[in-house]
Chains A and B, each alone.
Chain A
């Protein structure tokens, strides 16, 4: 049987074979065919503003550096010396005139072109490499940096499709449209497959169970303060309480998927003071600044968008209302690392960013009440799926009742439908069988 047919047997309409989470050979193939082909989110232009600015990251397992070239464009280079393979750039960020390999001093300019080679006479001149390997495709959508390790495939706009609206929402909310990465980067690891995170972030049926303990303690917490009398802890308490919304709320919010496996969910927050900061002077000032930039009508439209989490398959999850973005780095079939970024709206009142930080700490923080329970469950799934007693993972919530919408969008019959996981596996199988 051809390998592709075997892969197709692992992904069925409402179930997948457990080996897609546990088989190291499938993981290797995913790195080559999913992470090696899809557009991946690498970061944001604010992380490399000026010529020579760079930051390192990974595309799947490929170490890369994102640079601002002298011509102002963003470039992505494989962080591996063309000579003997050392990473030319230590992990991190900074500004460099040249990238100089620590091993034999080969140096490269900001575009990765080889500039100088010590002991040059020792090499056959026409055999010297031209420079660092450039990642073949790089593109930017509204400030967010994408790259693909494959020279072929859909262009970025097609890849994103209707999910562009989520990025638009992210950027449009900032008065003047200017965002910057700020406030530190959480890096957390878990002992589970990379897909488990993406299968969790739009799952409206999990908070009542996974987050039961944080919901319970938040309900017992002191009441949040009146407008203008907010406590430091209000954001934390409000958000944790909101995870305990009744089933009917989760079912009503809506879940959508796109042809490339992306997905987004509606907002489940009925606590108006959490998201909109209603009555909060800082939010009113923010709204005024947004109106100044885009006018009353457009500001209203922007603030009425109620998207919560968005998944960009296969490596990113973000939410625009508190400006959080997570990038997943698969390490092994049963080990993943997630980097979580916060964004500041440059022209919004400072208080808005304090709320972003407070929200990041309580929901996405490595030591938070909320994230830690998600990580525990991912690890329990990974342990459970090691069992050979059962082969199939059932993804049937809402199956058979998906609704077609324009532009290839499909909506779950309810907000708690597992449609987004099924859509991810449809995309997965397409990447894997190309």
Chain B
């Protein structure tokens, strides 16, 4: 599977609401990060919109399935449009992949549009890939945002 195909597959899992299968794409030591600030370097002493290790990411997926997850049920419908994929050389067993994301979310009669620069660090595993790190820099991360209850 090519890197591009892997990113499209990941997006497809999110858009078809197969969150548990999506979670399986991540390594056990993975981080999933949506920084608050532009060019944010530190996730521990500056807040983040989302800063999850594998444990917290799993809680996030579980919450989406909870019948009284008011902001998440019924689930939003989304389109993750992945583009401008560039692949760097493999280093220390990881491939850094940069891409852009345009995401359309529809829920409760409201449609929202997000744009982001995305970085994946991928590891090869069983002929495919696993995500060791995913960073999503929303273009409006420092702006006034509605609550975010979807997965990027």
Contacts and interface: CB of A to CB of B under 8 A. Distances in A.
Given A212-B66, A217-B63, A369-B59, A187 B47 contact: no
Interface in B16-48: 34, 36-37, 40, 44-48
Nearest to B142: A187
A186 interface: yes
A365 B44 contact: no
Contacts of A380: 70
A220 B62 contact: yes
Contacts of B34: 367
B146 to A, nearest CB: 5
B68 interface: yes
A286 interface: no
B85 interface: no
Interface stretch (B7-15, B49-57, B89-97, B119-127): B49-57
Interface string A345-370: 00000100110010011000111010
A191 B109 CA distance: 12
Interface residues of B, number: 34
Contacts of A237: 59
A241 to B, nearest CB: 11
Contact of A354 (B45, B71, B143): B45
Say which size band chain A's interface belongs to: 35 or more
Nearest to A338: B144
Interface in A67-107: none
B36 A186 contact: yes
Contact of A373 (B55, B71, B146): B71
A217 B55 contact: no
A302 B44 CA distance: 27
A196 interface: no
Contacts of A221: 55, 59
A190 interface: yes
A367 B49 contact: yes
A324 to B, nearest CB: 10
Interface stretch (A27-35, A116-124, A228-236, A255-263): A228-236
B105 to A, nearest CB: 13
B97 to A, nearest CB: 22
Contacts of B47: 183-184, 186, 342, 357, 360-361, 365
A369 B63 contact: yes
B46 A217 contact: no
Contacts of A209: 68
- What are the 3 tightest A-B residue pairs by CB atom distance, in nearest-first order? A213-B66, A213-B69, A376-B71
Interface of A: 182-191, 209-210, 212-214, 216-218, 220-222, 231-233, 236-237, 337, 342, 350, 353-354, 357, 360-361, 365-367, 369, 371-373, 375-377, 379-380
Interface of B: 34, 36-37, 40, 44-51, 53, 55-56, 59-60, 62-63, 66, 68-72, 108, 142-149
12 contacts: A183-B45, A183-B46, A184-B37, A186-B49, A188-B144, A188-B145, A188-B147, A212-B68, A232-B56, A357-B46, A365-B47, A375-B146
Given A183-B47, A186-B36, A188-B146, 15 more contacts: A184-B46, A213-B66, A213-B70, A214-B63, A217-B59, A220-B62, A232-B53, A354-B45, A357-B44, A357-B46, A366-B49, A369-B60, A373-B71, A375-B71, A380-B70
